[in-house]
């Protein structure tokens, strides 16, 4: 049973555009929502994370928006650059050792 559903599976954006990735969850006990970035041949690396007590968190060009009532959260990549081309995974946990991951979104930024 997939606890976190992620969409789209892939997206293409022009350089300078905005990339938006959406995730939805069912378990209301989740209280930690990280996003991971993975480049080919590398393991995932933490990009940004949010907890349900805030609705938005921004780090540089990356922003997480969180909607607790809708049980949804999203990643926005502003001013997308070719170096942002990677696979992005959302995840959720109850602040324990078990992260439930989405299936991933492959982002391609065209120059």
Partner 1 sequence: ETGVTQTPRHLVMGMTNKKSLKCEQHLGHNAMYWYKQSAKKPLELMFVYNFKEQTENNSVPSRFSPECPNSSHLFLHLHTLQPEDSALYLCASSLNVQEQFFGPGTRLTVL
Distance (Å, rounded) from C-alpha 75 to C-alpha 37?
Answer: 11
The answer to the question of residue 4 lying near partner 1 (CB under 8 A) is yes
What would the two tokens of residue 37 be?
A: 């970035």
The piece of 12-20, 63-71, 76-84, 98-106 that touches partner 1 (CB under 8 A) is 98-106
Distance (Å, rounded) from C-alpha 70 to C-alpha 104?
Answer: 20
Distance (Å, rounded) from C-alpha 100 to C-alpha 70?
Answer: 18
- 5-44 footprint of partner 1 as x/- string (CB under 8 A): -x--x------------------------x-x----xxxx
The answer to the question of residue 83 lying near partner 1 (CB under 8 A) is no
């Amino acid at each position: 049973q997939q606890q976190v559903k992620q969409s789209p599976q892939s997206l293409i954006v022009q350089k300078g555009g905005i990339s938006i990735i959406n995730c939805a969850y069912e378990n209301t006990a989740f209280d930690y929502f990280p996003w991971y970035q993975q480049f080919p041949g590398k393991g995932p690396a933490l990009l940004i994370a949010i907890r349900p007590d805030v609705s938005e968190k921004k780090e540089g060009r990356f922003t997480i928006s969180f909607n607790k009532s809708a049980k949804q959260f999203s990643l926005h990549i502003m001013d997308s650059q070719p170096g942002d081309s990677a696979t992005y995974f959302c995840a959720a946990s109850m602040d324990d050792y078990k992260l439930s991951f989405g299936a991933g979104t492959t982002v391609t930024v065209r120059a």
